[in-house]
Amino acid sequence: NAGVTQTPKFRVLKTGQSMTLLCAQDMNHEYMYWYRQDPGMGLRLIHYSVGEGTTAKGEVPDGYNVSRLKKQNFLLGLESAAPSQTSVYFCASKESGPADTQYFGPGTRLTVL
Amino acid sequence: GQNIDQPTEMTATEGAIVQINCTYQTSGFNGLFWYQQHAGEAPTFLSYNVLDGLEEKGRFSSFLSRSKGYSYLLLKELQMKDSASYLCAALDSNYQLIWGAGTKLIIKP
């Protein structure tokens, strides 16, 4: 099993450009999450999904959109990138139990110039 | 508001013992997680406590006091590979994880 994978690993964008980050998991997990991690701050939840076809907003959803068309994939879109979105983005997944462990992907390092 | 506090950085010596503290204030509480994160890598699960007391798992132990809103992670027989950030996260009433900023642990020979 590959676990949770993320594409791409690194990306540099110019302000105003758009991009999509892809997260894939092969563990048949119901829940999937997108976080961002910035220096000196805890992981912050952007959006999450409790199952195929569902999405919900997290703590910092502005400027991002998501889709979960297939159970194994969770896409994070930036429509018009801003320098404030420079960050490391982590995807995570877990089974459906409320206290189940989240498993993280390797992260995407995004720089917006 | 919801808040997780843990020290920013700690230094310890190889072979020694270190305790990393975490205090939390959340709207409701459904347990506390500890994750390890090596530089440039993903967080990986270490422990989960929902009841008061100490849970031991090899060289790592985690303690929880719900009445005090307090947890600690105890690392024994420190090895150089334990140099990493340790993330504390509390599960709130909506079963969402509230994350601390992490404690960077530096191990010196």
A72 touches chain B (CB under 8 A): no
* CB spacing of B31 vs A99 below 8 angstroms: yes
Q: pLDDT tens for residues A70-104?
A: 999 999 999 999 999 999 999 999 998 888 999 99
B7 touches chain A (CB under 8 A): no
- What is the percent of chain B where pLDDT is above 90? 94
* CB spacing of A44 vs B99 below 8 angstroms: yes
Q: pLDDT tens for residues A1-52?
A: 789 999 999 999 999 999 999 999 999 999 999 999 999 888 999 999 999 9
For A97, residues 6+ apart whose C-beta sits below 8 A from its C-beta are none
| Mean pLDDT of all residues belonging to chain B | 96
**Residues of A in Cβ contact (< 8 Å) with B99:** 42-44
CA B53, B57, B59, B62 torsion-angle sign: negative
**Ramachandran quadrant class, A6 (left: phi over 0; alpha: psi -120 to 50; beta: rest):** beta
* CB spacing of A99 vs B97 below 8 angstroms: no
